[in-house]
Amino acid sequence: MTVRLPANSTGTILDTQTESGKDRQVVVVREPVRPAPTRSVGGRIIYVEDFRGIQPGFWNDGVGVAHRDCDIMFNGKPTMRLDPLGNTSGGSNPGRTAVTTGVITKRRIHDGYRHKFGMEMWFRMTSLNLTSNCWLSMSVYNRDGTNAHHARVWLDPNGNNVPLLGKILDGDASNTAGSAVWVTAVTSVLQNGAGTHTYDVPSGRLDRVGGWHSVKLVVDFVTKKYVSLALDGEALVDLSAYNMDTTASTGFAGMHHSIEFAATTSTRRFVNVANVIGTLED
Amino acid sequence: MALKLTVPMWTLVGDNEQSLGAGKTLTASNESREYPELGSFSKAIFLLDVSAASGTTPSLTVKVQGFNPAASKWHDVVTFAAQTAATGTVIAPQSSNLDFITYKAVFTITGTTPSFTFTLVAIAHVEEPAVQ
């Protein structure tokens, strides 16, 4: 068998040729094309949840609902809608751990603090009433039977039609303060977080396309530190200076890849997420 | 091959399904949370079972309703015959096409100091491949 690769920019061609008795030649080119819509590079994909299956592979632990949504499509496939159903939560931010009086939709994967993992997704601020009194966040966390170690990013619209902020939960500062301390790690420059192009049937707003943001968080469970954060088209932000947040927890020991959405008022609101991807980064 | 989904429908607004008991005890009328997850399916059979009833002339009527998002109104989809005791007999199932997107259950209880313990489950299905 002969393998011929496409010419490079200078027209150079790499050829292989089978020699008699030496038929185990290997040419390693690069990773195969990633099979899911993504803006990120790197990382070996360990799952893709694109919601084409009728029953999502994510489970909601909160009092709201997370369900397959065929009203709001992305890339020709359904999405997942997160709706607190009017249930309310306290506080002024997503907190150190997920709020069970909202939506907590997750996939659990067992890994005993051995690797670096990434989690990414596309998301859309779909309905009205998403620019205040509610929080969308994405978390990768694990428990060891004694403690929980959380890496969280708060996807904060920061107001009406203003740049979206990616805030991370600062582990050291949160432990010192005894409450959640968030650090703005990245701003989606010149791109609005939420406020317009909404899909909200009762008010006659029927923009099914909306505007989609993308986010990817990478964490290291060996060192219990953040690694990086990517938001929309912004440059990858190095987060190696930040530790995960440690809280006492004897809950189920396992790693969670989670998306949370909670609100402080009962006004109906919902967001959509698409193409949730988990990656192994080492 | 039909894909089927079993959905317990006795979760009330504010209940967390992580700690849902094996049935619901109600002493007054109430409603379930909304169930948009049924909207991906084409048909369902609804099964009601009453395991305990007490009070003076207690009555439990269970309805399943579908939501019209443009008018913000709920329409009756199926209605079970009123239950007055836990007889141990099987209550006639109700079935319906799932033409709405979102559903909920309405539990109407009357009588003097009434109490009902019951389950309401939807087994939904669709005749299409699970993955297209």
CATH code of residue B38: 2.60.120.230
Any idea which residue has 């150079």 for tokens? Answer: A12
H or E, element range at B110: strand B103-126
Among A65, A69, A202, the residue with its CB nearest the CB of B70 is A202
Q: What is the pLDDT of residue A10?
A: 78
Q: Is the CA virtual torsion A119, A123, A128, A132 positive or negative?
A: positive
Q: Which domain holds residue B43?
A: 3-126
Q: For residue B13, list chain A residues with Cβ-Cβ distance below 8 A.
A: 63, 85-87
Cβ pair A87:B14 closer than 8 A: yes
DSSP secondary structure letter of residue A172? H
Instruction: Tokens for A39, please give them.
Output: 């803006």
**Domain annotation covers residue B82:** yes
Q: What is the pLDDT of residue A1?
A: 57
Condensed to tens digits (0 to 9), the pLDDT of residues A54-96 reads: 888 999 999 999 999 999 999 999 999 999 999 999 999 999 9
Q: Could you tell me if A39 and A230 are in contact, meaning their C-beta atoms sit under 8 angstroms apart?
A: yes
Any idea which residue has 């790693």 for tokens? Answer: A255
Instruction: Tokens for A4, please give them.
Output: 């011929």
For residues A115 and A32, what is the distance between their CA atoms, to the nearest angstrom?
22
Q: How many CB atoms lie within 10 A of CB B70?
A: 9
CA B22 to chain centroid, in Å, comes to 14
Q: What is the pLDDT of residue A2?
A: 62
ipTM of the complex: 0.89
**Domain annotation covers residue B62:** yes
Q: How many folded domains does chain B comprise?
A: 1
Q: What is the pLDDT of residue A4?
A: 67
Q: How many CB atoms lie within 10 A of CB B104?
A: 21
Which pLDDT tens digits describe chain B residue by residue (132 residues)?
A: 678 899 999 999 888 887 777 889 999 999 999 999 999 999 999 999 999 999 999 999 999 999 999 999 999 999 999 999 998 889 999 999 999 999 999 999 999 999 999 999 999 998 766 555
Q: What is the pLDDT of residue A31?
A: 58
Beta-ladder partners of A74: A77
Q: Could you tell me if A226 and A67 are in contact, meaning their C-beta atoms sit under 8 angstroms apart?
A: no
On whether any CB of chain B is under 8 Å from the CB of A61, the answer is: yes
Q: What is the pLDDT of residue B32?
A: 97
Instruction: Tokens for A157, please give them.
Output: 């619209």
Alpha-carbon gap: A252 to the closest alpha carbon of chain B (Å): 13
H or E, element range at A171: helix A171-177
**Domain annotation covers residue B108:** yes
Nearest residue of chain B to residue A67 (CA atoms): B37
**Domain annotation covers residue B131:** no
For residues A94 and A98, what is the distance between their CA atoms, to the nearest angstrom?
7
Q: What is the pLDDT of residue B129?
A: 60
H or E, element range at A177: helix A171-177
Q: Could you tell me if A281 and A89 are in contact, meaning their C-beta atoms sit under 8 angstroms apart?
A: no
For residues A260 and A268, what is the distance between their CA atoms, to the nearest angstrom?
16
**Domain annotation covers residue B92:** yes
Q: Which domains does chain A have, with CATH numbers?
A: 44-280 (2.60.120.200)
**Domain annotation covers residue B109:** yes
Q: For residue A81, list chain B residues with Cβ-Cβ distance below 8 A.
A: 36
Phi, psi of A177 (to 5 degrees): -80, -25
Q: What is the pLDDT of residue B91?
A: 93
Closest CA to B25 of B55, B47, B46, B5: B55
**Domain annotation covers residue B44:** yes
Determine the residue among B13, B19, B73, B100 to mutate to test chain A binding: the one whose Cβ has the most chain A Cβ atoms within 10 Å: B13
DSSP string, A115-144: SEEEEEEEEE--SSS-SSSEEEEEEEEEE-
Low-confidence ranges of chain A (pLDDT < 50): none
**Domain annotation covers residue B132:** no
pTM, whole model, 2 decimals? 0.89
Q: For residue B16, list chain A residues with Cβ-Cβ distance below 8 A.
A: 61-63, 100
